[in-house]
Amino acid sequence: MSSRTPHRARSESSENAGLGRPDPGLEAVLTRVEQSIASERGVRAWLRSRSTSSRVVSMCALVAVLALSHLAWARRADWAVYPAGRLVLIAAVHALAVVYSIRVFLAPLTEPQRPGRASWVAGLLLLPVFAALLPELHTTPADQLETSASVRAAASCFFYGGLVVVSVCAVLWCADRGGRAWLVGALPAVVGAGLSAYLVLQLHCANDNRVHLLLGHASIGFAWLVLLLGLRALGLAFQRSK
């Protein structure tokens, strides 16, 4: 079968008919579109009108700069004794997950949607949990802290990771072209930011206590995801009450 439909001629004549008989309603839409385009100014407008590959590369580069700056100036205290292979593996897997989340978040509307992709992206938040549950390979003074002390230390890591999440989400929002439903649109950004925070903390924090890792590092993405879902539920409840 030919890839061209037999009724293409009718469709093309419709296009030409559209040229000949301008619909007043459409002219009003055109005016509104032109006004919207005229208001597309500033850094954010410039950034989101870049090509998708440029936007993804630049956002990933920003996360890389954030991680590398921690590596350079605030690396973990046990850097010299921590198994390099394990660190490289954890960092590489999480970096790939961050890149994928950012790519999904910045996917243009010119690409067909893939159902269920948001669920896959949300599933990436399990990676830090698996990493935290890996068998311990060495003992550092931090490991010998009592659990209560590790939990207290987890609070500061959680707060620091939260700052990373907010920063990454803010930068990603600048590159977003919009047009997606709120929850589905924001989910990959939160996941990507949560994984970025985990990556940064892994390079910075030397506390390998399992409870600390689960509460202070791996939980960051989940916490923001729960916050996102809570805000969505509140929004829906507000809509229903109106």
Partner 1 sequence: MAYASGDSVAFQELFRRYAPLLQRMLLRQLRVREEAHDLLQQTFLQLHRARLDFDARQRFRPWIFTIALNLKREHWRRARRRPEAPLDDAMLAELGVDARGAKRWEARRDLLHGLATLRPEQREVIELHWFEGLSFGEIGACLGLTANAVKVRAHRGYVGLRERLGDDLPPLEAESGNREPSPGIDPGSGP
- The torsion of the CA quartet 41, 43, 48, 50, rounded to 10 degrees, works out to 100
Q: Which of 14, 119, 148, 241 binds partner 1 (CB under 8 A)?
A: 14
Which CB sits closer to partner 1, 26 or 226? 26
Can residue 6 be called a binding residue for partner 1 (CB under 8 A)? yes
CA 126 to chain CA mean position, Å: 15
* Nearest distance from C-beta of residue 40 to partner 1, angstroms: 7
Q: Which of 37, 134, 155, 233 binds partner 1 (CB under 8 A)?
A: 37
- The span of 12-20, 157-165, 201-209, 214-222 binding partner 1 (CB under 8 A) equals 12-20
- With beta carbons less than 8 A apart as the criterion, state whether 187 and 118 touch: yes
Total number of residues shown for the chain: 242
Q: Is 3 an interacting residue with respect to partner 1 (CB under 8 A)?
A: yes
Look at residues 206, 80, 226 and name the one whose alpha carbon lies nearest to residue 150. Answer: 206
What DSSP character marks residue 143?
Answer: G
The smaller minimum CB distance to partner 1, of residues 130 and 182, is found at 182
Instruction: Verify binding: residue 148, partner 1, rule CB under 8 A.
Output: no
Report residue 17 as tokens: 């008919």
Q: Rounded CA gap, 71 and 92, in Å?
A: 14
Q: What is the DSSP string of 217-233?
A: IIHHHHHHHHHHHHHHH
Residues 73-132 that bind partner 1 (CB under 8 A): 108-114
Nearer to partner 1, 3 or 148 (CB): 3
Which chain residues interact with partner 1 by CB under 8 A?
1-12, 14-15, 17-19, 22-23, 25-26, 28-30, 32-33, 36-37, 40, 48-52, 54, 108-114, 177-182, 184, 236
